[in-house]
Amino acid sequence: MYLTKEEEQIQSGEAGETLRKAIEILVALGDIYGADRLIPIKSAQIAGVSYKTIGDAGLEWISDLEGQVKVPATLNPAGMDMEDWERLRISPEFAEKQKRIVQAYKKLGIRCGCTCTPYTLEGFSAGYGDHLAWSESSAISYANSVIGARTNREGGPSALSAALLGKTANYGFHLDENRVPEVSISVECSLRESDYGALGYVAGKIIGNRVPIFRIKDTPEKDDLKALGAAMAASGSVALYHVKGVTPEACRLDFREPEEKIIIERSQLDEVYESRKRAGKEPDLITIGCPHCSAAELKKVAELLGGKTVSKETWIFTSRELKNRYPEYIRSIEESGAKIVCDTCMVVSPATNSYSCVMVNSGKAFAYVPGMCGAESVYGDMEVCIEEATGGKGKKAGGSH
């Protein structure tokens, strides 16, 4: 891989040990994947934040780093709400380690937004054709597919290295030839809301890590695409997809029709919803917000919960920035007894581990909760989740409404 004079000096340690390690990681990846050079990036999003997933070894690695990031960089969800961790019964020992991890990132100049929807943060926008180094799989899928930006599936260390150098290795999804659809998926039924998460769950299992182009009858909203991509990245490892007539590259570029064609029917999506019937138990935790709720989703949850009381533990995940921006939705949700939780999620927080059956409206959470939290997961759309949370009948809150 070609390195500039300045990059060679960094490689030989002249700019300090942190940057030497950072370039070593990027060059190693570049050599493995055949990159020709390093290219500048616009931003970085860094996974590997929850103490639950990175442990003491990760904490130590990050704490040893010095310097400042060269491009805007933000963090993936941590293992707890950084301001209100006691509410979900996180242990003080866990909280102490988690705070040290976030502090170590902060010291490097990284914004501690702790969200998997960095594209909703003020001042963190990504545009068509921008090169990025993002590392949370749903955010990667959204950046590549919905925004038309370009990022590989970075690991935490490589995204952090890219942030420190302001560059990444030029391979994979940074190159036009790897962004071409490899398989065509026709969806035979109409889709609404959580159908997109169910579709992503089914499609990801079939296509693995290939780039699909969907033919869908309906016109999906951005949140529908967010759910589709998140689920495909979890049940498979899809980092980029196109939707004919909808996503930016499918609209601007003249893709050749892939030879392989797959049809997905309603009955395959129904099987995901039937997880509720198949479950051997009743859900004891209801969670919404994987990926973190957008403003529109918070509004919908607030409307569905308005004037009702939850009778089951109910957690709604969003970014702290959106929580602060929409106090009226937050108030309405919290009046029901549901908890708004920021900086973390049902998968990366240890809080979920003490429940046995988690109801979700996310194909990604549906795929990950069993392995990551040791609980069964069942799938339902947002309305059904809220019905489950409120005891099925939408009880009025204590007569006060």
Contacts with ligand F3S by CB under 6 A lie at 76-77, 116, 136, 138, 230, 290-292, 317, 345, 347-348, 364-365, 368
How far apart CA 48 and CA 28 sit, in angstroms, is: 20
**Cβ–Cβ < 8 Å for 30, 1:** yes
**Nearer Cβ to ligand F3S, position 78 or 264?**
78
CB of 368 to ligand F3S, least distance (A): 6
Residues 6+ apart with CB under 8 A from 265: 188, 189
CB of 99 to ligand F3S, least distance (A): 19
CB of 397 to ligand F3S, least distance (A): 27
What are phi and psi for residue 286, nearest 5 degrees? Answer: -115, 130
How far apart CA 268 and CA 195 sit, in angstroms, is: 11
CA separation (Å) from 306 to 169, 261, 328, 334?
Answer: 49, 44, 11, 10
**Nearer Cβ to ligand F3S, position 298 or 347?**
347
H or E stretch at 213: strand 212-215
**Nearer Cβ to ligand F3S, position 118 or 181?**
118
CB of 79 to ligand F3S, least distance (A): 11
**Cβ–Cβ < 8 Å for 220, 246:** yes
CB of 115 to ligand F3S, least distance (A): 8
How far apart CA 387 and CA 392 sit, in angstroms, is: 4
- 177-180: list long-range contacts, CB under 8 Å, 24+ apart: 178/211, 179/144, 179/150, 179/211, 179/240, 179/249, 180/211, 180/255, 180/256
**Residue 387 backbone zone (phi > 0: left; psi -120 to 50: alpha; other: beta):** alpha
**Nearer Cβ to ligand F3S, position 15 or 116?**
116
**Nearer Cβ to ligand F3S, position 151 or 170?**
151
**Cβ–Cβ < 8 Å for 24, 162:** no
**Nearer Cβ to ligand F3S, position 144 or 184?**
144
The secondary structure of 216-239 as a DSSP string is: -SS---HHHHHHHHHHHHHHS---
Query: Would you tell me how many other CB atoms lie within 10 Å of the CB of residue 284?
Result: 15
CB of 292 to ligand F3S, least distance (A): 6
**Nearer Cβ to ligand F3S, position 170 or 275?**
275
- Both tokens of residue 281? 């138990």
CB of 182 to ligand F3S, least distance (A): 24
List the one residue out of 250, 244, 66, 41 whose CA is nearest residue 162. Answer: 41
How far apart CA 301 and CA 382 sit, in angstroms, is: 8
**Nearer Cβ to ligand F3S, position 163 or 348?**
348
Q: Determine what percent of the chain falls in helix, strand and coil, rounding each to the nearest 5.
A: 45, 15, 40
CB of 373 to ligand F3S, least distance (A): 10
**Nearer Cβ to ligand F3S, position 136 or 195?**
136
**Nearer Cβ to ligand F3S, position 291 or 337?**
291
CA separation (Å) from 374 to 51, 55, 197, 355?
Answer: 17, 18, 21, 8
CB of 127 to ligand F3S, least distance (A): 22
Rounded to 10 deg, the angle between the 327-335 and 295-305 helix axes is: 30
CB of 47 to ligand F3S, least distance (A): 8
CB of 287 to ligand F3S, least distance (A): 9
**Nearer Cβ to ligand F3S, position 140 or 165?**
140
